[in-house]
Chain A
Amino acid sequence: MNNPRIILSAAIWLVGMASAAWAERITVNVDGMVCAFCAAGIEQLLNDEAAVAKVQVDLDASEVRINTKEDATLSDDQLREIIRKSGFTAGKITRG
Chain B
Amino acid sequence: MRILLLLACFLATHATAAHARPVGYAQSVMAMTMNDGMEHSALMGYSPTATDYAGLRADYLREDEAWMTTVNYNRLLKRWNAPGSQGNLFFLGGVGEAFRSDDQSAAAWASMEADWENRRYYVSYENRFIAASAIDEQFMQRARIGIAPYIGDYDDVHGWLMLQVDHRPRNREQIMVTPLVRLFTTEVLGEAGISTRGDVLFNLTTQF
Chain B interface mostly: loop
What is the bound-complex CA distance between A89 and B83, given in angstroms? Answer: 10
Contact B185 A32 (CB under 8 A): no
Known: A40-B18, A43-B186, A85-B49. A34 touches B25 (CB 8 A): no
Q: How far is the CB of A56 from chain B (nearest CB, A)?
A: 8
Residue A31 is within 8 A (CB to CB) of chain B in the complex: yes
Contact B50 A84 (CB under 8 A): yes
Interface string of A43-54 (1 = CB under 8 A from B): 111000000000
Residue A20 is within 8 A (CB to CB) of chain B in the complex: no
Residue B187 is within 8 A (CB to CB) of chain A in the complex: yes
How many of A's residues come within 8 Å of B, CB to CB?
27
What is the bound-complex CA distance between A81 and B30, given in angstroms? Answer: 22
Residue B39 is within 8 A (CB to CB) of chain A in the complex: no
Q: How far is the CB of B56 from chain A (nearest CB, A)?
A: 22
What is the bound-complex CA distance between A55 and B20, given in angstroms? Answer: 21
Known: A36-B184, A40-B19. A86 touches B82 (CB 8 A): no
Number of A-B contacts (CB under 8 A): 86
Contact A36 B50 (CB under 8 A): no
Known: A34-B118, A35-B117, A35-B158. A41 touches B79 (CB 8 A): no
Interface size class of B (residues with CB under 8 A): 35 or more
Interface string of B99-137 (1 = CB under 8 A from A): 000000000000000000111000000000000000000
Contact A86 B26 (CB under 8 A): yes
Chain A interface mostly: mixed
Known: A41-B19, A86-B26. A32 touches B79 (CB 8 A): yes
Nearest-neighbor residue (CB-CB) of A30 within chain B:
B81
Q: Which of chain A's residues have a CB closer than 8 A to the CB of B153?
A: 59-60
What is the bound-complex CA distance between A31 and B87, given in angstroms? Answer: 11
Contact A37 B186 (CB under 8 A): yes
Residue A62 is within 8 A (CB to CB) of chain B in the complex: yes
What is the bound-complex CA distance between A40 and B76, given in angstroms? Answer: 18
Residue A28 is within 8 A (CB to CB) of chain B in the complex: no
What is the bound-complex CA distance between A83 and B186, given in angstroms? Answer: 17
What is the bound-complex CA distance between A58 and B154, given in angstroms? Answer: 6
Residue B152 is within 8 A (CB to CB) of chain A in the complex: yes
Contact B17 A88 (CB under 8 A): no
Task: Name 24 interchain pairs, CB-CB below 8 A, sorted by A.
Answer: A31-B82, A32-B80, A33-B86, A34-B118, A35-B119, A38-B21, A38-B86, A39-B154, A39-B186, A40-B17, A40-B19, A40-B186, A40-B207, A41-B19, A44-B17, A58-B154, A59-B119, A59-B153, A84-B50, A86-B26, A86-B50, A87-B21, A87-B25, A89-B81
- Residues on A close to B: CB < 8 A? 31-45, 57-60, 62, 84-89, 91
